[in-house]
Copies of this chain bind each other. A is one copy, B any other.
């Protein structure tokens, strides 16, 4: 029975590789992944699932087709399935993602940024 208290900021300090996906918890068939990012991601959507973003440190934007969402530390958004979005971190930020196991980071778009690996930290 492995039940551990997870401190989000302490976990973030263990991440040394930008854009790596770092598993911190599982909830049934969902995964919580921490990412440190500084990049403009690509437009994509997920056909089969909503996706939750929570900013743990810094700030980010999520571009939608009709507007741009600004997220600061302590803010959450759920992007519904099928909705095109482009996450953008102009400065380095730490983001918690929550989505079902097997969700592809680039969704329907695929391409060079596709990364299905995730390591426990």
Contact = CB atoms under 8 A, between A and B. Distances in A.
A72 B10 CA distance: 12
Contacts of A25: 52, 76, 78
7 contacts: A3-B69, A3-B78, A7-B72, A7-B75, A27-B52, A28-B49, A30-B30
Q: Chain A, interface size: which category? A: 35 or more
B77 A6 contact: yes
A64 B5 contact: no
Contacts of A52: 25, 27
Given A3-B83, A78-B3, A28 B50 contact: yes
Interface of A: 1, 3-9, 24-28, 30, 32, 49-52, 64, 69-72, 74-81, 83, 98-100
A80 B1 contact: yes
B1 A83 contact: yes
